[in-house]
Amino acid sequence: MVEIYDREGKRKLEYLVAVLPGVQAAVDEARFEIAARAEALLLAHRLEGHATIDVVDGDVDKYVVLDDERGKKAALSIEYGRAASVVVRERADGTTYLDTIPASDGLFILARAANLPKKRKGKVQLD
């Protein structure tokens, strides 16, 4: 594999191209379009209204983010879905009981907005 560096040997050519004003403008325009589509998709499925679509600037890249910090912190579950689970809950009188949370399919808001394939994340095996 060949790596190309600029004259000083400090920055890769890809970085130099990525930070050009025209390239940054094109990336910003693409991010705006994806964020607008994501917002429309999220509004169609919003139940409690806590999740939002945000845009974030990195050093070079620009990001569209599904944010659920104000709600149940469930952005990952909103995007990819979740499996059924059993949780222990406590009643007001101090007794505990088991409650089943049903499985939920993902909405793939960001994937659909960016025209990416819908893929559910695989299970992680812990050793």
Is pLDDT of 76 > 50?
Answer: yes
Pairing label, strands 52-57, 62-67: antiparallel
C-alpha distance across the termini of the chain, in Å = 34
Lowest-pLDDT range of 67-76, 92-101, 114-123? 114-123
Looking at residues 100-127, what average pLDDT do you find? Answer: 79
Q: What three-state secondary structure class fits 53? A: strand
Q: What pLDDT, on the 0 to 100 scale, is given for residue 70?
A: 78
Looking at residues 90-105, what average pLDDT do you find? Answer: 92
Is pLDDT of 127 > 50?
Answer: no
Mean pLDDT score of the chain, rounded to an integer?
Answer: 85
- Show the tokens assigned to 98: 């088991």
pLDDT single digits (tens) 4-45: 665 655 567 788 888 999 999 999 999 999 999 999 999 988
- CA gap 110, 59 in Å, rounded: 21
